[in-house]
């Protein structure tokens, strides 16, 4: 996986960059749902966040929705003994959804498929292009 060439990233700008960069080509299984741009974007997004903020870890969790249990990915950052959850794709879930369990993934054992690597690299390139406007 490539490293980012950006110097400093603002979280508000990162959110904007991610949301403007998502489409079916960056989504898991080419998912697309009108009005729900974050659908299928959780894993590529969590990888991009980890590339831009290497001190974060990727979390794999289960989310209870009105349709059942769904797999979800986001990031955590531990700072000063406090764990901060960073989730730019939570809005894909309906109101009332909740995390029922999660575990931190081993960054050395992610086992990304070639298709996943390509989606992450595409998303990263788009995000970096967007953020360069602020350099």
Contact 73, 42 (CB under 8 A): yes
Structure tokens at 81: 């003994």
DSSP code at position 40: T
In this predicted model, what pLDDT tens digit does every residue of 51-103 receive, in sequence order? 999 999 999 999 999 999 999 999 999 999 999 999 999 999 999 999 999 99
Enter the tokens of residue 39.
């659908």
Give the tens place of pLDDT for each residue, 3-24: 665 557 888 999 999 999 999 9
Q: What mean pLDDT comes out for the span 30-44?
A: 94
Whether pTM > 0.85 for this model: the answer is: yes
Kindly report each contact of residues 40-43 with a partner whose C-beta sits within 8 Å and lies 24 or more positions away, as own/partner: 40/92, 41/89, 41/92, 41/123, 42/72, 42/73, 42/74, 42/87, 42/89, 42/92, 43/73, 43/116
């Amino acid at each position: 996986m490539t490293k980012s060439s950006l110097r400093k990233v603002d979280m508000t700008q990162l959110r904007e960059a991610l949301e403007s960069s998502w489409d079916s080509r960056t989504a898991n299984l080419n998912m697309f749902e009108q009005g729900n741009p974050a659908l299928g974007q959780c894993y590529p997004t969590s990888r991009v966040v980890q590339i831009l903020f290497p001190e974060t870890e990727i979390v794999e969790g289960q989310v209870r929705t009105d349709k059942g249990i769904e797999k979800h990915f986001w990031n955590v950052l531990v700072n000063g003994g406090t764990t901060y959850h960073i989730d730019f794709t939570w809005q894909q879930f309906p109101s009332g959804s909740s995390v029922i369990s999660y575990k931190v993934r081993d960054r050395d054992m992610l086992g990304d498929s070639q298709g996943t690597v390509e989606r992450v690299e595409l998303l990263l390139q788009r995000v970096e292009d967007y953020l360069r406007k602020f350099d």
